[in-house]
Structure 1
Amino acid sequence: MAERPPVCDFGWKAPGFSLVGVDGKTYTLDELKGPKGTLVGFICNHCPYVIAVIDRIVRDAAALVQYGVTTVAICSNDATTHPDDSFENMKTFAKVHGFTFPYLHDESQAVARAYDAMCTPDFFGFNADLELQYRGRLDESGREPAGANVRRDLFEAMKLIAGTGHGPEDQTPSIGCSIKWKAA
């Protein structure tokens, strides 16, 4: 079932974390923080919404580096009920799609809960002070192929944040599959 997270709560501070990446290293938010901004994206390996846009996510993450923005992706899905999202499959997914950013495993789901992540993909764009300035979609294409003239909402928002410290007032929520939560 498709989920839509709420629009940006401007100024909300990014919760810290310490998670293992597909490269075997442990990363903290403080280590990953970009000089002009930080993009935290909750994704997974099996979601058709993520699969449809993953190459655009990788493209935009690489392009944002020149603006001082770093990107980190986090998978929080329950791999017991969704084995495609296992840590081993995360490694393969990152390699196949040429990730140039850390892909972290939130096995306990504590980070997804701290961020109130709702879907995959769910994007959180922070300024240099780790204050939330964007919580919206990648672009208007959803699960469809992107046309040549599709506005790159996330990319443009992160460029604005890198330049001004503030995100756009007009934001459209992301849409995607719900986070696959563990049974209580």
Structure 2
Amino acid sequence: MVDAATARAQLASLTVAPPGTMAGYSRSRFTHWAEQGDRCDTRETVLRRDGQDVVRDAECRAVTGTWRSLYDGAVVTEAAEVDIDHIVPLAEGWRSGASAWDAARRKAFANDLRRPQLLAVSAASNRSKGDQAPDRWQPPDRSSWCQYGRAWTTVKAAYGLTATEDEKRMLGTMLDTCS
């Protein structure tokens, strides 16, 4: 994760543009939960990375563990109640430039374990977020705003995605919470 100063520089470099059309969008255009080796897909890899005391079965599925959801502070002990959030949602990526990408780049975006694009969070918080950008949805736990703003900005900058003026403004507000 980049520091706040780096995130501010990344935020300043984002190209401002209105949201693109959703024409042609489908989640299936972003191959997600790709194989990551050792019978584990991206979802199971993130569950292990973000959880504590995670025990997996022979097929790499999380059986037990504990996850703390960044967005709402909820502590979850059942893997079925944990969603893997795309910090920058796939639909938001589509609206801000991914519609022009090839299948390989969309797959990389949907399964990116190198950048802060994937995060285990409570299913309830992920579903309340949906595909909204930060100007329309913010994590209810304000103490997470700094990390969320840094992650969102890092992903948008890394993939050359655009941002709306309102989105950039709210990201600046989020980065203002960094100490």
With normalisation by structure 2, the TM-score equals 0.29
- Structure showing greater Rg: 2
**Larger strand proportion, structure 1 or 2?**
1
With normalisation by structure 1, the TM-score equals 0.28
